[in-house]
Structure 1
Amino acid sequence: MNNVLQQFKDNNSIHNKRFYRFGRRVNRSGFYVSPNWFDQEFSKENNLKNVVKDGGIILRSNKIFDDEKKRQASLVNRIEKISVQLEKPFAVGEDYSLMMNRAISTPFDCAKHISQLVTERSALAIVDGTELWHMHQPLNRSCHLRFLHFKHPDTMPVNYAFWRSCSMLLARVVKRCFKEQFSVQILSQPISDLKYGSFICDAKISNLVDWKASPEELRTLTSLLWDETNKSTQFERLEVNREIANQLFSDNSSRLTYIESIKEDRFVVYRLGDYIELCNEPMIANTNQMNSMYLCAVHPLKTPTGEQFYRFQGIGLPKQLHINAFAYSLLRERAKNLNQIGFVN
């Protein structure tokens, strides 16, 4: 047992005892305990950030996300059929009438009944003509459904969703690209403002003062964006209550402040890979719908209180669209200019 468990101070405070797990879990007296007990006590640690580091916090947040997703799925204990009237996805042809499963089937599942082309290109859905719907969000009623893609006549909703998704993808890359000694806290939420010609990610990076990204570093970050788009990773959507939201973002003070400012007990979170973010508006279906992603600039800035943060700015194109290389190079040059979204003056 000495090889499995070490005990420091023998007093009544659990924070002054160290637990080790080797295979099955044990308590400090050598008796076996349940995994739930171990997780509950571990989550009470005041210095949880120092215990698990950034990687451990990411694993813990994803476990909370998975557990909540499974819990919500378990609430559907009876299969109910709903009627989905799907507007014709092509210029020719007729509308489709589908029988789907309530609270289980998603617009993506509906698209799979039509064709692979519809499945791959559909980035967003509209329910009953007005409500924007994420492609992987379960349908909760009989409805009329319309798919949006990047060449659809009604392009603005899907353009905004694309910009938000690019912003979230950039945040995921920024969160993971720095070495362990540089702790990264993402400040901005996914933004869909098109005015300045770039999507952004604001991040506070500890132990990094007045950093100016070199062209080589910009190319490295760009290559990481390309790696992510090639993975075809889905954007997963989940609605959670305030308690779960606080647990998911326990390491991010800016998110906790935002959660505290909202009166409603309902929050929409998205997950991309292992990165989790708050966002009320829908994302596109997956990263394979993105193309020509570039990180164009990193601007060192300061908050009104004098704290330094960095604004990462990028640009991208939907995979479905193509543009002249010279014209796109001009857009990339424009995206280097400081994106002033959120500035008072």
Structure 2
Amino acid sequence: MNHRSRLISPFLAHRRRVLGEGGAGTVQQKLLQKAAAETPVQTAPKRFYRFGHRVNVGGYFVSPKWFDQELLLKEDVKLSAACLQRPDGVVSQANRLFNEEQERQRALVSRIEKIEVILEKPFPTHDDVVLMMNRSISTPYDCAAHISELLRNRSALAVVDGTKSWHMHQPLENSCHLRLLHFKHDDPMPVNYAFWRSCSMLLASVVKRAFKEEHPVAILSPPMSDLAGGSFVVDASIASLPDTWTPTTEELRSFTSLLWDEVTANRHFERLQVSADTARKLFAGDAKRLAQIGEASSSSDTTTFTVYRVGDHIELCEEALIASTGLIGSIFTSAVHRISTPNGGTFYRFQGVALPRQLHINAYAFSLIRDRAKQLNSVGLS
């Protein structure tokens, strides 16, 4: 052993006696184990909402990790209901039937015939445009795409021959005058009503799949377009929920996050005209819709019904809806109210508020609109 070894060896021997035979690494592990034993383990509250990006109060996208950290800071957080599940067999069967009927109707067009569509002033500085389109194939959406991408993306609703509202994805049947409406149009009321109905149907699609399997949801109300109430509404019957259930802030956020997912997915509102027999098959598990179909078809066997689909949700709706969810800008679930019926039953009224993507509003003004939308909207309750 050389002179340098004799000087270092006593120090190393002392260090080993203090730290143990394993050296510094073992001490670090022991310190970590000791700290872990002394620190109470915090686990995230059981989450009933879906993995993915969510929206916080300010409207910014936040990660699930951030959301869990926020929940850990609140000891009294109790998430009781909102849980996302994939559509069950009944919904999957209805969507399969919808696809088959859609393909069957498309196959009926065996011969391409031309029609003349006069598009009225697609832009204020433009003249009318004459387009040669295909009967029972071309839609107002196709007509807009022939002019410009801007016109296609902003058009929410069409008007045929100056009187009839026409869905953007509904095939044109004859030569006609066509006017495309957007949210800054000179006469925005038709598209405003379509926008409100579309948001109502979108909220229904979210509510229907937002609860656990032991809480089946039945949508009671059709898509409604009451503007005076300050919110769009959905009435739903939810089985096995406790009478004291009131959605927490986190649960309302989970509903809102689902709405945002549908908006960013830019899903088309698909329209289909079906017979009474097909309508009964589509709504085989919905007693309320079956009663409505039976009442409407009792006077005539040739009665047809208009159905719309957004995502996996299918609904009866005779009035036109907007082209896609991508036309919706800010959208929030405002409140859920428990309503008692005269016969002793109960249902829940979900309320929301939204703005078209084409329109912009001051943040403070929109906060006032959101606060007002929390009040009970009494449309259809009297």
Band of TM-score, shorter chain: 0.7 to 0.9
What amino acid is aligned across from residue 253 of structure 2 in structure 1? R
Instruction: Please give the residue correspondences for 1:149-228 in structure 2 after superposition, counting only pairs within 5 Å.
Output: 149-210=182-243, 211-228=245-262
Which of residues 336, 341, 344 is equivalent to 2:379?
A: 341
Coordinate RMSD, CA, aligned = 1.1
Work out the CA distance in 2 between the residues paired with 1:285 and 1:68: 20
Task: Tell me the CA shift for residue 91 of structure 1.
Answer: 1.1
Residue in 1 that maps onto 2:370: 332
Q: Distance in 2 between matches of 1:233 and 1:149?
A: 18
Between the two proteins, the alignment pairs up a number of residues equal to 292
Amino acid at match of 1:148: L
Q: What do the CA deviations read for 1:167-189 (whole angstroms, capped 9, x no partner)?
A: 00000000111111110110000
- Match of 2:344? 306
Aligned to 1:41: none
Structure 1, residues 300-344: CA drift from partner, whole Å, max 9, x if none?
112332221100000000000000110110110110110101122
Deviations 1:64-117 (A, max 9, x none): 111111111111111000000001111102111100000000000001000010
Query: Match for residue 321 of structure 1?
Result: 359
Question: Partners in 2 of 1:273 and 1:93 — Cα distance?
Answer: 36
Select 1:271's aligned residue among 309, 312, 317: 309
SS in 1 for 2:88: helix
> Are residues 1:259 and 2:293 paired?
yes
Equivalent residue, structure 1, for 2:330: 292
**Aligned counterpart in structure 2 of residue 237 of structure 1, from 271, 288, 299:** 271
Consecutive aligned runs of 4 or more in structure 1 exceeding 4 Å deviation: none
Structure 2 letter corresponding to 1:331: I
Displacement of 1:54: 5.7
CA distance in 2 between counterparts of 1:302 and 1:76 reads: 50
Question: Structure 1 residue 249 and structure 2 residue 287: aligned?
Answer: no
Secondary structure (helix, strand or coil) at the match of 1:185 reads strand
Equivalent residue for 1:73? 106
Separation in 2 of the partners of 1:331 and 1:130?
Answer: 32
Q: 2:87–2:209: 8 Å Cα contact kept in structure 1?
A: no
Taking the TM superposition and a 5 Å limit, the aligned residue runs for 1:27-46 are: none
Preserved CA contact (<8 Å) 1:54 1:183: no
Q: Is the 8 A contact 2:120 2:179 kept in 1?
A: yes
1:144 aligns with 2:182: no
**1:60 aligned partner, one-letter code:** Q
Q: Quick check: 1:200–1:313 contact (8 Å CA) kept in 2?
A: yes
Larger Rg: 2
Q: Distance in 2 between matches of 1:306 and 1:133?
A: 41
Using the TM superposition, give the Cα deviation of residue 191 of structure 1 relative to its aligned residue in structure 2, in angstroms: 0.1
Deviation larger for 161-170 or 302-311: 302-311
Q: Distance in 2 between matches of 1:126 and 1:322?
A: 25
Instruction: Determine the C-alpha separation between the residues in 2 that align with 1:202 and 1:183.
Output: 14
State how far apart, in whole Å, the 2-side matches of 1:273 and 1:151 are. 27
TM-score by length of 1: 0.83
Distance 1:306 1:241 in 2: 36
- State the Cα deviation string for residues 109-134 of structure 1 (Å, max 9, x = none): 00100001000000000000001000
Gaps of 5+ in 1: 1-52
**Secondary structure of residue in 2 paired with 1:262:** helix
Task: Return the offset for 1:192.
Answer: 0.5
Contact 2:135–2:174 at 8 Å: present in 1 too? Answer: yes
Aligned to 1:3: none
Contact 1:204 1:310 in 2 (8 A): yes
Q: SS of the residue aligned with 1:237?
A: strand
- In the aligned structure 1, how far is the partner of 2:342 from the partner of 2:118? 51
Question: How far apart in 2 are the matches of 1:186 and 1:231?
Answer: 23
Query: Gapped runs of 5+ residues in structure 2?
Result: 1-85
Deviation at 1:262, TM superposition (A): 1.0
Would you say the 8 A contact 2:87–2:312 is kept in 1?
no
What displacement does 1:195 show? 1.0
Structure 1 residue 160: deviation in Å? 0.1
Residue 209 (structure 1) shift: 2.6
- For 2:269, give the aligned amino acid: F
Partner-residue secondary structure (3-state), 1:230: helix
Q: Which residue of 1 aligns with 2:146?
A: 113
For 2:254 and 2:92, the matched residues in 1 are separated by 25
